[in-house]
Amino acid sequence: MTCSACVAHVEKTVCKLEGVKTVNVNLFTNSMTVDFDDAHLDINTIKNSVENAGYKAQLHEVVTNSKSKATLKIDFVQQEQDEIKMSWWVSLTFLIPLLYISMGHLVGLPLPHFLHGNENALVSAFTQFLLTLPIAIFNKKYFVNGFKALFKASPNMDSLIAIGSSAAILYGVFAIFRIGYALGHTDMETVQEFSNDLYFESGATILTLITLGKYLEAKSKSRTSEAITRLMDLAPKTAIVIRNNQEIELPIEEVVVGDIIIIKPGVRVPLDGVVENGNSSVDESAMTGESMPVFKQKGDLVMSASINKSGYFTLKATKVGNDTTLSHIIQLVEEASSSKAPISKLADKISSVFVPVVISIAFLATIIWLLLGYPFDFALSIGIAVLVISCPCALGLATPVAIMVGTGKGAEYGILIKSAESLEMANDIDTVVIDKTGTLTEGKSHVTNIVCNDLMTVNELLQLAASMEKPSEHPLSEAILLEAENRKLKIQPVNNFLSIQGQGIEGEVDGIKYLAGNLKLMTEHKVKLSDFATLLDKFADEGKTPLFIANKNEVIGIIAVADILKLTSHEAIEQFKLLGMEVIMLTGDHAKTASAIQSQLGIFSVIADVLPHDKDKEIARLQALGKTVAMVGDGINDAPALKRSNLGIAIGAGTDVAIESADVVLMRSDLLDAVTTLRLSKAVMINIKQNLFWAFSYNFIGIPLAAGVFYNLLGWKLNPMFAAAAMSFSSVTVVLNSLRLLRFKPTYLQAVRPNAN
């Protein structure tokens, strides 16, 4: 495929087949995704329909090399690049002598005597024809595809090239016959006339320059797919498996669920699994962006592509092949790169009628100039120039190349954008609704304050509280025990432990009875709060939960516990505001706790006390007010709201629910990446609009110029060779403009991630 007209023709052809639900053809990746009912249709029928439409098609699949037992995925982008490169070099090799013979004398270059003068005109013309022939043969796809599409009444860019270059070459063949006839009748005036009117070099130059443009496009494609290639390279090709009490190295595709995999220090984990034995620190930065290694022990999940830093452990495979987290990510990036944004429909609709209109303009321009009394060669060059300069390559590349670069760039930042439509929708967001727990906050409690009286030191109070909480199952106990562990405090034995439902616990440490719990527990046991009563309202306003520690007479200390904010949450909220977004926090927490978070972050408004199954109703209410809403949540209890929103952004390291329910998945679990998603979308959409503007402007200016509209007024006439160069340049310009997105770099990330991409 070479233009949007090709895309429209293939889509239209396949859509006619019975059982086809949706068809998505991508020009830039030369790929097609078809959703069809296999009860009415099979892959061969689809393949045949594409080939009958004038294009080649083959199933995109994994091929196994039986000798090496390694899996090889066909690299269609590289294959295309190699083919075009060969055509370009062959074309250039023959074009240089052709231009020397046909135009060298115009700049005073010497010619061999057998090519000079009217008496050798036939030899010169035939030599030019022979030099043109290999160029036409190596670029035959333009003729085969172009005329096939033309005869099926669905002309495309190849049709324009085929008609233009064929006209030039056929006119040259006609001139050879006229020169031969004139020489036989010693009509030197006619010999001179047709010797000067040969257009072999024009046809050959058109094909060569267009092939050069295609080669530069193909090279650019390889750059835009770098993100996917890097992801694929993360996956090891083999794994060491224990079978029959023996260690054997197997190709990764032969590993099955339940196999025990040996993970040695320094190696990359080949698949998803659960630690069976041993422990180690694992670098998950490739998957989650988390720069610090994560400690893994028995029962912990380890994702594919993670790096084992130091220890030795075995892994029980839970997901293999295309089910691994890495495979899901690669699939998402590929699908997003190949999908089509709504804005691309504009280019597709225009291109579907553009080519037939251009052919009509070229034909009419040729006829009009002939009727005005101009020579046939003049009129023919006008028609050829119109055909060549109008090739809608730039129009067809304007959207897909920017989408591909944008989604690839997102993947570099750990942002998985599921479709081009999602990328475009992110540009229209005006309201961001954010879940609190696990999104703005860490999602787990931490000790924030420890206050005690003169009876104990801070560490002594924490040691006592941790000892009391050790047998407890209360949610706060984990935070207190973690803090004690961080301070390396020794847990003391507790006797006569008693859990009091809804209030707290009691027990004896070193023979002394202590209480640990809420205000109700203190009141029930008539314990004096003393000066600690003044801290209740303060902690409540800050969204913290107080735990009183008391003996039988008085409170001896208070420990405040809270789900603390993530380090980047405040910066993320500020960045949303800079984008002009209305930020709303949506949470199931009490209004007072939510209000404390709101005041700390400066959030515009808060909707609190909302049950998980009612969150989607709040999203619908905001949409009813005319707002375009992005919902940011953890992808599990927020799944309905993520689905309901205009753009669902899941924070969570690639969980299945997040991938299914959201339009965008943030692998780093960092709210700043949601900001990056919106900024990346805006950058991509600006880029697409620039591409479309230049593509439309180019044709708007180029077609009248080629048609000779300015010839009588200003003497401007476009040579077909320059038309071909201009057409190729326009396509390369669009691609290069899109590649500027590779320089996209959110400056606000540098403060929190010095090594950010």
The set of catalytic residues is 435
Q: What is the chain's percent helix, strand, coil content, to nearest 5?
A: 55, 20, 25
The torsion region of residue 435 among left (phi > 0), alpha (psi -120 to 50) and beta comes to beta
- CA-to-CA distance for 154 and 147, rounded, in angstroms? 10
Which of these, 223, 219, 674, 218, lies nearest to 404 by C-alpha position? 223
**Angle formed by the axes of helices 569-578 and 591-601, nearest 10°:** 70
Kindly state the tokens that stand for 547. Answer: 């735990």
- CA-to-CA distance for 381 and 366, rounded, in angstroms? 8
DSSP readout, 619-649?
Answer: HHHHHHTT--EEEEE-SSTTHHHHHHSSEEE
- Three-point CA angle 112, 115, 118, nearest 5°: 135
DSSP readout, 300-337?
Answer: -EE-TT-EE-S--EEEEEEE-GGGSHHHHHHHHHHHHH
Residues 6+ apart with CB under 8 A from 709: none
DSSP readout, 338-364?
Answer: HS--TTHHHHHHHHHHHHHHHHHHHHH
On the 0-12 / 13-18 / 19+ scale of CB atoms within 10 A, 703 is: buried
Instruction: Identify whether the C-beta of residue 351 lies closer than 8 Å to the C-beta of residue 395.
Output: yes
E strand intervals along 42-192: 62-65, 70-73
Kindly state the tokens that stand for 608. Answer: 């609190």
Would you call 147 helix, strand, or coil by DSSP?
helix
Q: Please, which residues bridge with residue 713 across strands?
A: none
Q: How far is CA 638 from the centre of its chain?
A: 24
Would you call 691 helix, strand, or coil by DSSP?
helix
On the 0-12 / 13-18 / 19+ scale of CB atoms within 10 A, 123 is: middle
- CA-to-CA distance for 266 and 151, rounded, in angstroms? 60
Phi, psi of 85 (to 5 degrees): -60, -45
CA distances from 80 to 29, 75, 588, 712 (A): 10, 9, 54, 43
- CA-to-CA distance for 139 and 83, rounded, in angstroms? 10
Which of these, 636, 224, 587, 216, lies nearest to 434 by C-alpha position? 587
Sign of the alpha-carbon torsion through 299, 303, 309, 314 = positive
Which of these, 115, 133, 132, lies nearest to 124 by C-alpha position? 115
DSSP readout, 389-417?
Answer: HT-THHHHHTTHHHHHHHHHHHHHTTEEE
- CA-to-CA distance for 274 and 467, rounded, in angstroms? 31
